[in-house]
Structure 1
Amino acid sequence: MTASPPASPPAARWRHLAVGLTGLVAACAAQNGMPFLTLALREEGLSLPQAGLLVAAPTAGLVCALLLWGVLADRYGERLVLSAGLAVAAVALTGAALADAAVPTGLWLLLAGAGSASVHAASGRLVLGWFPPEQRGLAMGVRQAGQPLGVGLAALTLPRLAADGPGGAFAFLAAGCAVTAVLVGLLVRDPARPPRTAGAPRPASPYRGPVLWRVHAASTLLVVPQFAVAGLAFDWLVRGAGWSAAGAGTLLAVAQAGGVAARLGAGSWSDRVGSRLGPLRQVAGAVAVVVGVLAVVAALTPGLLGPGVAAAAVTLAAVATVSPNGVAFTSVAEQAGSAWAGRALGAHNTAQNLAAALTVPLAALLADGGPGYPAAFALGAVAAAAAVAVVPARTAEPAPPPVAVGVP
C-alpha cells in the first residue's frame, strides 16, 4: 500500500466515521429490517411470497437510486447527499406508517429505499477522504458494521413494535432516519479532495481494467447467502425450529454483534496483510462452508435436530455472511480513487442490492412453494463458492492511489 497522506486531526476523522456509522445503522434498519415484519405482514393476510415482495421493496428502491446518488456525491459532496437522502427516507417511512393497503405501503418502502441509498453512495467516501490507507480497512469495517448493527436494532425492536400491525415499526424507522439527517447537517464536513492541475486530464476510469469488475461480481455473489439467511432465518426459526417470534428476534439481534466483530476483524486483517483481495477470497470460502452447513441443519430440523442446533447454525451463518462487505467496499473505494469513488460505490451497491432484491423473493418461493428452506440456504452456499473463483488474485491488486485526507 502507498504511504499515508498527511493525517487530519484524529477527532475529526472519528467524528465523521461515527456520524457515517449512525447514518448507516438507520438506513440499514429500514432497508434490511423488513424480514422481522414478515409475521406481522402475514397476519395482515399476505402470503410469504407476497410479504417477500414488500421485504424486497426498499432494496429495489436502492437499486433505482444508488448510481444517481453516487454521481451527486462525486459532484456536490457527501454532506448534502447524506442529509437529503435520509430526509427523503424519513418522509417515505412516515407514509408507509400511515398507509392502509399493501400496494401503497410497497411504493412508500420503494421510495424509502431510494432515499436511504444515499448513505451507501456517500458515507464510504467519508472513510476514503478522512482516513489514510493504512487505517482504511479498519475504518471501513467500523462503517460497514452499521449493517449488522442496523439489522440487530431492527431484530430487537420491530417484532415488538409490530405487535398491533407494522405501522408502529415504520414510524420508528422514520424517526431514526430523520434524526440522523439532522446529525449529518450539523456535524459532517466534506473531506478535501486532491487538487487538479490546470489543463490536466481527468482521472482515467478505473473500469478499464478487470479488477474492479471482478470485485463487484464477487461481492454480488456474496449477497445471495447474506440475504437468503437474513430474509428467511427469522421465519424459519419460528415456523420450522419452534422458536417464539420474540426469542428468534433476540437471537438474531445477538448474532449481529458477532457480525460487527467479524467485519472489524476482516478489515483489520486486510490492513495488516496489505491486501483486500486475499482476505476477501478466504472469507468467501468460509461463507460457502457455513451456509452449506445451515442448509444441512435445515434439512434435519425438526426431525433429527433440535432448536438449539438450529440456533447455532443460524448464528454462525448470520455472522459469516456479513463479514466480507467492509473489505470489498474498501477495495472498491481504493481502486476507484477520489474522483470515481462515489460512482464506483454506487455501482457496487447497485449490483449488490439488485441481487438482494431478487434473492429474497426467490428464496421465499423456494422455501414456501418449492423444495423448502434447505434449498433456499443451499442456493446461498453455491453462490458463495462461485465468489471464491471470481475474486481477483492478489497479484492483480495495484497499490491504492494516494488520496488527500480531509481537514476540519
Structure 2
Amino acid sequence: MNTHRIPRSWLMLALGTGGQTASTTALYGLAYLIPAFREDLRVSLAGAGVLVSCPIAGILLGLVGWGVVADRYGERLALGAGLLSAAGAMAGAAVAEGTLVLGVLLVLAGAFGSSVNSASGRLVIGWFPPDRRGVAMGVRQASQPLGTALAAAVMPPLAQYGGLAAALGLSAVLCGATGAATALFAVDPPRSVRPAGARAPAPYREGGHLWRLHGVAAALCVPQFVVTGFALLFLTGARGWSAAAAGAVLAAVNLAGAAVRLLAGWWSDAVGSRIRPMRWLAAATAADLALLTAGAALDSPVGTAALLLASALTVSTNGLHNTAVAEYAGPDWAGRALGVHGMGQHTAIVLVPPLAGALIADRGYPPAFALAAGCAALAVVLLPAADRASRTAWTAPADGDRPRPRAGKAADQCARRASRAGTAGGAPTARR
C-alpha cells in the first residue's frame, strides 16, 4: 500500500473510522446473536442478555486507561495494541467452552476494544484543522450505525450456518485487520512543543465546562436508546406494522441518521461552533419527542412520523459533543477526557434499556417517550453558553500531511508558526 499518494489526514480518518466500525460490529453487534446464544449455549433470555452486556462492561473498565495511553504514548500504540488484543480475546471467545469463560473473554474484548473510543477520536481531530473537524468527526461517528448495520446483516446468517464460532471469529478478524492496519500505517498527529518536564494544566481544574459536556452527552443518550431500543416494538406492537416492514424502514432511517451526523459536523464547521448546533439539535429533539409522546398517547399518525424523525435526530449530536470535548481538553488531555466522556454515555447505554423497558411494561409508551423528551430538554439547559478554546492548541496543519515535528530546529520553527497563527477553536489557523 503506497500511503504517500494518499493525503495523510484522509488516511488517518480512514484508519480511525475503520477501527471504530470494526469495534462497533464486534462489541455492540452481539445483540444479533441472542438467538444463537440461546440455542447453542442453552441459556435463558436473561443469560443471553448478560453475555451481550459483557463487552459493554469491559468498555467501561478500559476507557480511561486507554485514554491515558493515548495521551502519553500516542494514538498509534493505543489503537494498534487495543484492537489486536481485542482480536485475540474474540478469537478465544470463538473457541471457548462454557458460558463463564465466554463471558470473561467478552469482557476482556470490550476492555481492549475500548481503546478505539478515545484514541480514534484523537487521531482524527489531531490531523484536521478546526474548520474541517466537524465533518471529519461526523464521518468517524457515522461508523457506529454502519458497524451496527454490518452486524445486523452478517452476524445472524453466520451464526445460523457456521455457529457462534463463525460469528465471533468474524469479530476477531475485523479487529485484527484494522489493528494491524493501524499499527502499520497510523501516524500520531503533531503536538505542541513543550519544555522538558512541562505539563499542560488539567482541564477539569478550570471550571465545569467539561463536566457540563459530559452531562449533556449522558442526557442525550437517554432519548437515543429509548428510541433505538423500542422503535421496532412500538411500530409492530402499537402500530401493527409487520416486522419486515418496520425493520426495513428503521434501517433506512438509521442510515439517514449517519447522514445527519455529517450534516451536523458540516454545520458546526461553517458556524465555527460546536455548542450552537448542539443546542438547536437538542431543542429540536426535545420538541419532536414531545410530539411523539402526544402521538403515542392519542394513537395518532403524528406519533409514527415523530418516531421516525427521532431515529435520526437523537444521534445527530454525537460527533459534536465528542469534538467539543477533545478540542477543549487539548492534545495532552483529550484521551482521558474522551474516556470519561464515554463512561457517562456507556453507563446510560447499560441502564436505559432495562429501565425504559420496565417503564413501558408498567405504564406504556407515552411516559417513556416523555422521559426521553425531558432528558433532551435537560441537555439544552446543561449546555455551556459558548465554546471555549483550549489553552493547549492542537497543531495539525491545514493539509494534514506533515509528520510529527522532531525536537530541534524543525520543532522551533513549528512552534513559531503556531504562535504567529494564533488559535481558533483550540487549534492554530492553517498556513502554507
Instruction: Report the TM-score range of the alignment, normalised by the length of the smaller protein.
Output: 0.7 to 0.9
Identity of aligned residues (%): 48
Quickly say closer, same or farther: Cα 1:320–1:361, change in 2 above 3 A: same
| Cα separation, partners in 2 of 1:56 and 1:385, compared to 1, 3 Å | farther
Map of 2:377 onto structure 1: 385
SS in 2 for 1:393: coil
Matches within 5 A, 1:22-171: 22-38=18-34, 40-41=36-37, 50-99=47-96, 102-163=99-160, 167-171=165-169
Once the 2 structures are TM-superposed, how far is the Cα of residue 66 of structure 1 from its aligned partner?
Answer: 0.3
Deviation at 1:214, TM superposition (A): 0.4
Change (3 A) 1:227 1:345: same
Q: d(CA) in 1 for partners of 2:352 and 2:113?
A: 20
Q: Displacement, 1:12? A: 0.5
Partner of 2:410 in structure 1?
Answer: none
Residue among 208, 211, 232 paired with 1:210: 208
Distance 1:295 1:51, change over 3 A: farther
* CA distance in structure 1 between the aligned counterparts of 2:93 and 2:355, rounded to whole angstroms: 24
Q: Matched residues in 1 for 2:97 and 2:366: separation?
A: 34
Q: Which amino acid aligns with 1:114?
A: A
Distance 1:112 1:193 in 2: 30
1:270 aligns with 2:262: no
Classify the secondary structure of the residue corresponding to 1:338: coil
Aligned residue number for residue 355 of structure 2: 362
User: Which amino acid is 1:326 matched to?
Assistant: G
Check 1:49–1:121 CA distance in 2 against 1; reply closer, same or farther (3 A cut): same
Deviation at 1:33?
2.5
Relative distance call for 1:399 and 1:114 in structure 2 (3 A) is: closer
Counterpart amino acid of residue 322 in structure 2: F
Using the TM superposition, give the Cα deviation of residue 373 of structure 1 relative to its aligned residue in structure 2, in angstroms.
4.6
Q: Which amino acid aligns with 1:28?
A: T
SS at match of 1:197: coil
Aligned-partner Cα distance in 1 for 2:151–2:283: 28
- Pick which of 226-235 and 55-64 moved more: 226-235
The one-character-per-residue Cα deviations of 1:10-40 (angstroms, maximum 9, x if unpaired) are 7110111011111111112233333434455
Q: Quote the offset at 1:281 in angstroms.
A: 1.5
Distance 2:371 2:218 in 1: 14
| Residues 82 and 244 (structure 1), Cα distance of their counterparts in 2 relative to 1, 3 Å cut | farther
Q: Work out which of the residue numbers 314, 319, 338 in structure 2 matches 1:321.
A: 314
What is the SS of the residue equivalent to 2:363? Answer: coil
Cα distance in 2, alignment partners of residues 37 and 249 from structure 1: 17
Query: Which one is further off, 63-72 or 283-292?
Result: 283-292
* Alpha-carbon distance, 1:381 to partner: 2.4
* Partner SS state of residue 131, structure 1: coil
C-alpha RMSD of the superposition:
3.0
The offset of 1:134, in angstroms, is 1.5
Partner of 1:403: 394
- Structure 1 stretch displaced more, 282-291 or 134-143: 282-291
Q: How far is 1:84 from its partner? A: 1.4
Decide whether aligned partners of structure 1 residues 363 and 16 sit closer, same or farther in structure 2, where only a CA change above 3 A counts.
Answer: same
2:275 & 2:314 partners in 1: Cα distance?
A: 17
Give the one of 324, 332, 344 matched to 2:325.
Answer: 332
The size of the alignment, in residue pairs, is 393
Range with bigger deviation, 85-94 or 278-287: 85-94
Measured after TM superposition, the shift of residue 114 of structure 1 is 1.3
**C-alpha distance in structure 1 between counterparts of 2:367 and 2:46, whole Å:** 16
> In the aligned structure 1, how far is the partner of 2:195 from the partner of 2:88?
42
**What is the one-letter code of the residue matched to 1:84?**
A
Q: Partner of 2:346 in structure 1? A: 353
Q: Which position in structure 1 is the counterpart of 2:223?
A: 225
| Partner-residue secondary structure (3-state), 1:322 | coil
CA distance in 1, matches of 2:101, 2:293: 35
- The amino acid that maps onto 2:202 is S
Q: Deviations over 1:286-322 (max 9, x none)?
A: 222334444555566xxx568x975x55432221111
Query: Structure 1 residues 399, 342: closer, same or farther in 2, change over 3 A?
Result: closer
Contact 2:126/2:394, CA 8 A, preserved across alignment: yes
Whole-angstrom CA distance in 2 between matches of 1:305 and 1:49: 34
Aligned match of 1:188: 186
Contact 1:193 1:404 in 2 (8 A): yes
Partners in 1 of 2:208 and 2:350 — Cα distance? 26
Q: Which residue of 2 aligns with 1:15?
A: 11
Could you say which residue in structure 1 is the equivalent of 2:280? 282
Contact 2:27 2:56 in 1 (8 A): yes
Q: CA separation in 1, counterparts of 2:295 and 2:175?
A: 37
Which residue in 2 is equivalent to 1:5?
none
Q: Deviations over 1:227-252 (max 9, x none)?
A: 22333334555566555656554443
Deviations 1:42-67 (A, max 9, x none): 66776665544333332221111000
**Is contact 1:124-1:140 (8 Å) kept?**
yes
TM-score normalised by length of structure 1: 0.85
Q: TM-score, normalised by structure 2?
A: 0.81
**What secondary structure sits across from 1:33 in the alignment?**
helix
Q: CA 1:90/1:229 → structure 2, altered by over 3 Å: closer, same or farther?
A: farther
Q: Is the 8 A contact 1:121 1:342 kept in 2?
A: yes
